[in-house]
Amino acid sequence: MTQYDKTNQEFEDVMQECRSLFSKKLHDYGASWRMLRPSSLTDQLFIKAKRIRSLEIKGESLVGEGIRPEFIALINYGIVGLIQLDKGFADTIDVSPEEALRYYDEHAKEALELMKRKNHDYDEAWRGMRVSSYTDFILTKLQRIKEIEELQGATLVSEGIDSNYLDIINYAVFGAIKLK
């Protein structure tokens, strides 16, 4: 098995773990996230990333949950973000759990394919990075999303919000892989 094959398998394993949690939450809450407006979703991602950074700096959690579950949450909220970009937000739950999982799978596949292309070009550079760098890059991507939202999408040269969500997902997967 090549290093690329190992990375692909580890990525798929983390994504399956995330999908399983997402499915269980769909059972418990339905697709209640459909009501999140873009700015609220960005803030939710921001809260998760800031908590990771806080735990990295402080070295302890008073709530009892660690860093890895927050990376898992970033992955799932990142995918929710991609779904919301496609469908817009709603005032009610307007998708069934089955539809939500279908959308989830489409965007999880999109993230995997992007990771494969970038991993080829960057030659597994993520393996030599510190987990704290993933956190900082995620926070940077979130700041960029906030700026794009403030500009109402009228950027001059920037990637769109979707590209930033995909990068957040991929950095969070790398964090989850390293912390397993």
Cα-based distances in Å from 116 to 36, 64, 132, 154, 165? 30, 34, 22, 30, 16
Taking only the tens place, the pLDDT of each residue in 75-89 is 999 999 999 999 999
Rounded Cα–Cα distance for residues 110 and 44 (Å): 22
| DSSP structural state of residue 35 | G
Q: What is the pLDDT of residue 102?
A: 98
Rounded Cα–Cα distance for residues 165 and 160 (Å): 9
Buried b (16+ CB within 10 A) or exposed e, 91-126: eebebebeebbebbeebbebbbeebeeebeeeeeeb
| 156: Cα separation from own chain's centroid | 25
Low-confidence ranges of the chain (pLDDT < 70): none
Rounded Cα–Cα distance for residues 131 and 80 (Å): 23
| 36: Cα separation from own chain's centroid | 16
Taking only the tens place, the pLDDT of each residue in 85-104 is 999 999 999 999 999 999 99
Q: What is the pLDDT of residue 1?
A: 84
Rounded Cα–Cα distance for residues 10 and 161 (Å): 26
Rounded Cα–Cα distance for residues 67 and 71 (Å): 7
pTM of the model: 0.96
Rounded Cα–Cα distance for residues 112 and 103 (Å): 14
Rounded Cα–Cα distance for residues 170 and 138 (Å): 10
Q: What is the pLDDT of residue 40?
A: 96
Rounded Cα–Cα distance for residues 138 and 64 (Å): 23
